[in-house]
Structures are given as structure tokens and as C-alpha cells.
A = this chain, B = another copy of it.
Amino acid sequence: MATVGRMAGVSQVTVSRALSHPSKVSPDTLRRIQDAIRATGFVPNALAGALASRKSNLIAALVPSFTNIVYSSLLHGFSEIMRENGYQIMLSETGHDSEREQTLIETHLGRRPDGVLLTGVHHSPGARRMLIGSGIPVVEVWDISESPIDCCIGFSHPGTGLAAAEFAVEAGYRRAATVTAADARACRRRDAFAARFRELTGNDVLTMDYAAGTATLQHGRAALTDLVDHQGFMDGVVFCSSDQYAHGLLTEAAARGLNVPGQIAVIGFGDQDFAAHTYPPMTTVRVDRGALGEAAAGALLQRFAKDQDARSVIDVGFELIRRGSA
């Protein structure tokens, strides 16, 4: 920066000003400085800038998994808004492991991010303490809680299970099963579904849980095979914790020539891009993940701007989309 200044015949400070507050520099010097920057290929050191200004323009984002479309689409919306506002994302995968999450939080906090994005509302006590102690704005997404660390944006997972059960009963189904991945929020959806279905019909729900945290089409096919061949489940509705499972059930049903939704009805979760185009089209729970990510970004930006009416709990809701599969 000093070199650039020398070339432009000004001091280092003026170069700094030309970069951060161009309006505070005379048009003429500004031009000379810009020429010098171009000539040297100078790229300001943001690390030093962050240290001096106590503003890093860095956001720490922690998600369970990059490859799960649920989180990546959320991140897409989030990072887009953040980028437009001059922030950069440091990203890490927690893998549904809260100890690992805590370690990652500590590492990220060392970079002095201006904000933190967390997935879910359950974090280790140590993580909570560090986050609160840091005084950095934190937004928790994909779930809601009465007592967020700072603020949270999401929807009620049990609420989706409730809605699915009520829909299923109203649609006339009297037998039900669930297919659920090893994911705490998915389990809460399952439990709410089962409880409500039982309440309304008096019938127990057959619950099938998978050890994997990631739902795949393969396991969806296996689940229907299991349901039909071993559990004698031949008519009723299946509430899946993910559209991937639901797609697997539809695939297996097609392979077996089963009628959907006549013999087996299927409800997915997520409304992924393929859900409207499966055969038959999938009935599922829609959550606008991109918008959720954008809302999370908005919440952080509000906090940065010290907006007084920033809310701390935002329920973005969900929607049950009825298509052909149930």
C-alpha cells in the first residue's frame, strides 16, 4: 500500500482512504491511485484490515452436510445475500456431531467472524457459552426454539408431522407407517405424526428407522420391500423423513406393480426439484429453503445494522403439497 502511495505521490493512508472511502479523496488523486493499483496488481490484505478495524467481513457457517440438498440450498440463498453485502463465508461440516460442532465453533471464532450461522437449535453447553461470550450475532436455522442463542429462523418440525397426520386421516387412510433417517429433527417429525395419527384413528403407526443420517432412494426401496414382504403393510400411507425415501418407495412400488396411492400412499418431505415429476407426482411437505437462507442472511444483516425491531424467533412455516402419491 505504501508502494502504491509512492507511485501515486501520496501517503499510504490516502491509498487506504481511496479504497475504503473513495469520496473522501479528491477525484484527481483517486485516479492516480487507481492507476497505480492497476499497474502493480496490488490486492489489499484483508487480514490486516480486519485486525485494524475489528471487522472481518467473514461469516462462519456450520451445516451438518454439504451434500444434503436441504442444507446446500439453504446455504445457496444465504451466501448469495451475504456476498452481495460484502461478506465471505467460511464453511464447515459438522456431520450431526455436536462435539465436532463445538470444536469447529471454537476454530471459527478464532477468525473473529462478524456473524455465525448454525444449523438446528440444539448445541452443546460449551458451544452455547462460547457463542454467547463472544458477543457475535448468531442465527440458528432450520428449526425454531423458544430460547435461541441469539435468533432463530425455521419452522416447527413436529408441526409438519401433525399436519401430515391430519392430512392423511382426512384423505381416508387408516393405516400408516413412517420411514425415518437417523436425524433428530426427522425423529421429531415422525413422533408428532405417529402421536397425532394414533390420536385421530386409534391405530398405531408402524415406524421404520434407518441408521444412516442421509436418506437415499436405495433405502426407500428397501423400506417398501420390508414393509410389504415382512410387515404385511399392503394398504396405507407412509410418511417419509425425506423426498429421497419417498422416491425410493415410489420406485419400488413401480417395480412391483403396486398401485400408488391405491395400495401404498406416500408422503415425502422437502419438496425437492424432482418431487413434482416423479411417477406419480409426490405429495410432500414444502419448505422454501432458499428463502430460509435468505431470511437468515437478512436477520444477520439486521443485527449488524443494530436494527431494534429485529425479531429473535421467526417461523417461516411449511406447506403440505398434495400431488398424486397420497
Interface residues of A (CB under 8 A from B): 41, 43-48, 50-51, 56, 58, 65-67, 69, 72-73, 75-76, 79-80, 83, 88-93, 106-112, 129-130, 133-134, 216-218, 221, 244, 247-248, 251-252, 254-255, 273-274, 276-279
Residue of B nearest to A252 (CB): B279
Bound Cα distance A279, B250 (Å)? 10
Q: Which residues in B have their C-beta under 8 angstroms from that of A247?
A: 274
A122 to B221, CA, bound (A): 41
- Shortest Cβ-Cβ A-B pairs, 6 listed: A46-B110, A217-B274, A218-B277, A66-B72, A91-B91, A255-B279
Q: How many copies does the complex hold?
A: 2
User: In whole angstroms, how far apart are the Cα atoms of A325 and B76 in the complex?
Assistant: 33
User: A48, B46: Cβ atoms under 8 Å?
Assistant: no
User: Which residues of chain B have C-beta atoms less than 8 A from A106's C-beta?
Assistant: 43
- Report the bound CA distance from A247 to B65 in whole Å: 24
Smallest CB separation, A60 vs chain B (Å) = 9
Q: In the complex the two chains form, what is the Cα distance from A274 to B69 in whole Å?
A: 14
Provide the bound-state CA to CA distance between A257 and B127, in Å.
55
Cα–Cα distance between A47 and B130 once the two chains are bound (Å):
18
In the bound complex, do residue A217 and residue B92 qualify as a contact, i.e. CB atoms below 8 Å apart?
no
Option from B43, B73, B93, B221 in Cβ contact (under 8 Å) with A109: B43
Q: Which of B73, B111, B133 contacts A47 (CB 8 A)?
A: B111
**A273 CA to B65 CA in the complex, in Å?**
15
Is chain A's interface secondary structure helix, strand, loop, or mixed overall?
Answer: helix
Q: How far is the CB of A289 from chain B (nearest CB, A)?
A: 9
Known contacts A133-B41, A254-B254; is A90 also within 8 Å of B92 by CB?
Answer: no
Can you list 19 A-B contacts (CB < 8 A)? A41-B129, A43-B130, A45-B110, A51-B51, A66-B72, A66-B75, A66-B79, A67-B73, A69-B69, A83-B92, A88-B107, A89-B91, A89-B92, A90-B90, A217-B273, A217-B277, A221-B277, A247-B274, A254-B254
Contacts of A89 in B (CB 8 A): 90-92
Q: Given that A88-B90, A89-B91, A277-B251 are contacting pairs, would A47 and B41 also be in contact in the complex, using a CB cutoff of 8 Å?
A: no
Closest to A244 in B: B274
**B67–A130 CB distance below 8 A:** no
Once bound together, how far apart are the Cα atoms of A46 and B60, in whole Å? 14
Contacts A43-B110, A244-B274 aside, 5 further interface pairs with beta carbons under 8 A come to A76-B93, A88-B107, A88-B111, A216-B277, A255-B279
For the complex, give the distance between the alpha carbons of A111 and B92 in Å.
18
Contacts of A252 in B (CB 8 A): 279
Chain B residue at minimum C-beta to C-beta distance from A104? B83
User: Across the interface, which residues of B come within 8 angstroms of A80, CB to CB?
Assistant: 93
Task: Specify which chain B residues have a CB less than 8 angstroms from the CB of A58 in the assembled complex.
Answer: 90
Assembled-state Cα–Cα distance A69/B65 (Å) = 11
- What's the least CB distance linking A14 to chain B, in Å? 19
Query: Shortest distance in angstroms between A77's beta carbon and chain B's nearest beta carbon?
Result: 10
Q: Complex Cα distance A155/B254, Å?
A: 36
Shortest distance from the beta carbon of A12 to any chain B beta carbon, whole Å: 16
Interfacial chain B residues near A48, Cβ < 8 Å: 51
